[in-house]
Every structure is written in structure tokens, then in C-alpha cells.
Amino acid sequence: MEKLQNVLVTGGAGFIGSALVPVLLDKNYRVTVIDHLSTSKLKSLERFFPLDNFEFIKLDLLDENKLKEIVKESDLIFHLAANVDVRKGYLNTDADFLNNIVATRNVLESMRTSDRCKKIIFTSSSVVYGEALEIPTPESHGPLIPISLYGASKLACEALISGYVGTFGIDAVIFRLANVVGPTIAHGVIFDFFNKLKQSKGNYLQILGDGNQRKSYLYIDDCINALSIGLRKFSSGLEIFNVGSDDQIDTNTIAQIIIDELRLHPEISHSHESNNGRGWTGDVKYMLLSTEKLKKIGWKINHSSEEAVRLTAKNIISHGYD
């Protein structure tokens, strides 16, 4: 594979993107980040501004004309930008359609019209599988039947990428991620628990669903290691990899870890917003991915789900939770 010089990261100011950027810079790539900063903060990238091989551009991916100008100077795209709130799609059906599907189409169309940029790494999600009957779930599992608009939009993005690969000769790697956690996480169950405990001054915690939801949690460092492998695993066509821990943890245990780390004794209740103990409509109650395919090409998992959750909680506390 030819040497890639210019890497474009969409959503690069977000949780995963801001952890990926320093790794790319350390590998001596020239990195351009585009982000519309609606759900992320520029502060996460400010330390890179003085570097000659870094550039930040505030841009909404729905602005196709400006996007094309940026893409034509790139060799490869890490497409991370998306609506990150799975539950938001229930309240606003445009969120996943515009920020996931249309945005991805615009990225791909910009690549199609570029003479230079023909490689994309895309972060999809475990929720494309829906309520999979096969656990751990391999990449070959099907049919894929997502139960949320977020999951449907991620699957639609995968289909678009596959179509552009087959029709226009673009090369792509898709990573289906488990629940990624880390100290700067700004959404999801850990973030929600910390916010609820702060708001109640440590006296009360409501858990959505019955608390028995069991899922895989992936620490951010393990996620970035997987994405980095994508840089050197391009072949002609499309590759899909699961990325997740080797085990599961239930929501009640996550709550207890956070409570223990904060040394609190709150009153705990459960809110059953939907049937079968789900936390919300569209919540996949049980998830565990098979990652054997990724391990065969060199990826190694360093943290269990419990370790990922506990390490995240400790880091949030050490960075100033009160």
C-alpha cells in the first residue's frame, strides 16, 4: 500500500476522535479535523493547534461543497462524525437520518469526485445487529435487524459504503464498536450516572430499565488500537471488524462501581420505560461481540468490561468530579 500522508478525521473533536488524533500525529501523518462542534468541544484539540501537521476546520458535513474541497486534499478519511445519542432518534427522527446517513453519503460522494481520496475507515456500531440470537456475535451474523433508528442509520451507512466500494472502487474498513468508554466520555450510562448523582447530591440514583442489561464495554485505548490497525489493513474492497471486550457487565454492576468509587450510599430505583426491562425504546438488552477476526490480524484487548468501567469512573473522579 502506498504511503498515506494526509488523513482527514470527521468528528475529530469528539470523544473517540480527540483520542485518535494524537496517535495519528505521533505517526507523522498530516491530520485535518472537521467538526461542527454541536456535541463536542474544541478544547479537546487546542494543544495541537501550534503543530505544522495539524489543522482544524469547523464544518457541518451537510455542507457538501465545502466538504469536497477538503476531501480532495486527503489520502484517507476516518469517518467518526455521527449523532452519538442513541435515544435522541426516538425524539427527533431527523437526527440519525441527517447526521449519520446524509452526512456519510456526502463524505462518500466527495470521495467519488476526488482523484486522490479513495480510502475510508468508518466507525459503525454493535447495534446494527439488533437483538442477535448468536452470542458472541460474529461479523457474519445475519440478517441484521436493528431495533433503533440509530442502529438503522449505522446499517444504512454501512450499505452506502458497500455500494460505493462496489461501484466506484473505494476501499473501506468498517469497525463495529461496542460501548466505548473513557475519562472524557460525554454520553452513555456512565456519564448519565455521574450526572444523576451530582444532581441529587449523592442521595438518589435512578437506573433506566431493570438494570440487568448486559453489554460489552470497550476502553478508549483498546478502541484506538483497533482503529490504528485499520491504517495498515487496507486491501481492495471492504473489510468489517467487530471491536469489543471479551465479556459483559450489567447496568446494576456499573451503578455499584460508580457508587463505590464515589463512596456514596444513594437510594436506588429502577425506571421501566419500555418492556422486558430495557432502559429505553430501542435499547438492545444483551450484547457481546466476537472479535476473533480482528485478533487474528494483531489486535489485543487489554481491559475487561469491568476494568473499562472502573478505570473510566476513577479517571472522571480524578479529573474533578464533585
In this structure, are residues 210 and 273 in contact, taking their beta carbons and an 8 Å threshold?
A: no
Query: Active-site residue 90, yes or no?
Result: no
Query: Which one is catalytic: 29, 129, 150, 164?
Result: 150
Q: Residue 266, preceding bond cis, omega within 30 degrees?
A: no
Q: Cα–Cα distance between 266 and 196 in angstroms, integer?
A: 11
SS3 for the chain, per residue? CCCCCEEEEECCCCHHHHHHHHHHHHCCCEEEEEECCCCCCHHHHHHHCCCCCEEEEECCCCCHHHHHHHHCCCCEEEECCCCCCCCHHHHCCHHHHHHHHHHHHHHHHHHHCCCCCCEEEEEEEHHHHECCCCCCECCCCCCCECCCHHHHHHHHHHHHHHHHHHHHCCEEEEEEECEEECCCCCCCHHHHHHHHHHHCCCCEEEEECCCCCEECEEEHHHHHHHHHHHCCCCCCCEEEEEECCCCCEEHHHHHHHHHHHHCCCCEEEEECCCHHHCCCCCCCCECCECCHHHHCCCCCCCCCHHHHHHHHHHHHHHCCCC
- List the strands of the sheet with 119-125, edge to edge: 54-58, 30-35, 6-10, 76-79, 119-125, 171-177, 238-243
Instruction: Map grid coordinates 462542534 to a residue.
Output: 37
Query: Can you give the C-alpha Rg of the chain in angstroms?
Result: 19
For 302, the grid coordinates are: 487489554
Active site residues: 150
